[in-house]
Amino acid sequence: MEIKIQKTATPAEKPDSSTLGFGKVFTDHMFIMDYTAGEGWHDARIVPFGKVEIHPASTVLHYGSEIFEGLKAYRKADGSVQMFRPIENIRRMNRSAERMCLPQIPEDLALEVLTKFIEFEQEWTPSAEGTSLYIRPFMFGNDESLGVHSVKNATFMIITSPVGSYYKEGINPVKIMIETNDVRAVRGGTGEAKCGGNYAASNRAGDRAEKLGYSQVLWLDGVERKYIEEVGAMNVMFKIGGEIVTPMLAGSILPGITRKSIIELLKSEGYAVSERLISIDELAEALENGTLEEAWGCGTAAVVSPIGELCYKDNKYVINEGKIGEVTQHLYDTLTGIQWGKVEDTFGWTYKIN
């Protein structure tokens, strides 16, 4: 597909790598493409970064039809730029779109526009240790009518943001509160779709936990409130008595690409990994008898985030003396090593831009 390019007349200064946070600074341009039923995707364009105008009755503003993705471009020591498993993000976006009645983007078209846009903005990929270019593709329903039905018009965009190192002061294990009131998702709902609505509904519990000094909540299943689901916006894994366990994907959990990569990596190294139900009782027992060796969250932003303390109904449990565990550290080193091109990628996960 032809991509029309309108360059900004006022290019911005690249930010100083040491001041980068997360998602606060955006690059000079953005990608936009529109969908119309019967016509398909059209008008692919790269335009100066700026506000978008939408109709006040636009579907997304009223009925929340929005999905998104999150991945990164990494600058290697030789100056080249690469992404990590972008095809997985594209496939997941199409699965999210199917759930939310938004249009599919053919995989090769999505990969083409993503690659071309990142190539166009590649100078914005920072090079300091641990920094990267965060890529946020998203799609929203954009009918100009209040009728409730699956949409006939949609917009797909990509914005990019240079982001700082997630762990500026070294990896510090976080404190997590197990949420016993709100639920994030139920099977048959939208938990396995990466959609904005899941986040809107999660904020209340997250805010409450933060006020109590915890950095995230750990969600339990929405039906029995008994089985572990995920932690904040990350998947969760435990090492219990030598076995690595993580909740299986049964419809309410977001299928993380970091999660998938960790499972593939650990299996290739001979670790016992199971995807199964993990009850809060099993976890509490393992915490009490000391067989819970490590716990960590995993996702694109942090890669792995060790859990040093879990709070369940006012009981506080410290894990691995509040220190990062051996497997957690190994996963962090290996995955970030592959992403920044310091460790050989024997899996074929990296995707070169230039």
Ligand X SMILES: *Cc1c(COP(=O)(O)O)cnc(C)c1O
**DSSP letter string over 278-347?**
-BHHHHHHHHHHT-EEEEEEEETTTEEEEEEEEEETTEEEESGGGS--HHHHHHHHHHHHHHTTSS--TT
User: Could you say which of 247, 256, 308, 325 contacts ligand X (CB under 6 A)?
Assistant: 256
Cα gap 250→293, rounded to integer Å: 25
Query: Which DSSP letter does residue 149 get?
Result: S
User: Could you say which of 20, 81, 171, 233 contacts ligand X (CB under 6 A)?
Assistant: 233
Shortest Å distance, C-beta 230 to ligand X: 5
Task: Return left, alpha or beta for 114; rule: phi > 0 is left, psi -120 to 50 is alpha, else beta.
Answer: alpha
- The 113-152 site mask, x for binding ligand X (CB under 6 A), equals ----------------------------------------
| β-bridge pairing 4-5 and 40-48 | parallel
Comparison of 299 and 308: residue with beta carbon closer to ligand X: 299
Cα gap 139→158, rounded to integer Å: 9
Q: Are 301 and 215 in contact (CB under 8 A)?
A: no
Comparison of 46 and 71: residue with beta carbon closer to ligand X: 71
Comparison of 174 and 234: residue with beta carbon closer to ligand X: 234
Does residue 235 bind ligand X (CB under 6 A)?
Answer: yes
**What three-state secondary structure class fits 7?**
coil
User: Could you say which of 60, 83, 93, 234 contacts ligand X (CB under 6 A)?
Assistant: 234
By CB under 6 A, which span of 3-11, 130-138, 167-175, 257-265 interacts with ligand X?
Answer: 257-265
By CB under 6 A, which span of 100-108, 136-144, 236-244, 252-260 interacts with ligand X?
Answer: 252-260
Shortest Å distance, C-beta 209 to ligand X: 15
In 3D space, the residue among 171, 173, 233, 163 whose CA is nearest the CA of residue 203 turns out to be 233
Comparison of 257 and 319: residue with beta carbon closer to ligand X: 257
Does residue 257 bind ligand X (CB under 6 A)?
Answer: yes
Comparison of 110 and 234: residue with beta carbon closer to ligand X: 234
> From residue 62, how far is each of 65, 144, 151 by CA, in Å?
8, 11, 12
By CB under 6 A, which span of 6-14, 140-148, 256-264, 345-353 interacts with ligand X?
Answer: 256-264
User: Could you say which of 70, 130, 189, 322 contacts ligand X (CB under 6 A)?
Assistant: 70
Q: Find the binding residues for ligand X in span 268-307 (CB under 6 A).
A: 299-300
Q: How many CB atoms lie within 10 A of CB 267?
A: 12
Shortest Å distance, C-beta 234 to ligand X: 5
Comparison of 46 and 139: residue with beta carbon closer to ligand X: 139
Cα gap 350→112, rounded to integer Å: 16
Tokens of 56: 């006040």
Interface positions with ligand X (CB under 6 A): 70, 194, 230, 233-235, 254, 256-259, 299-300
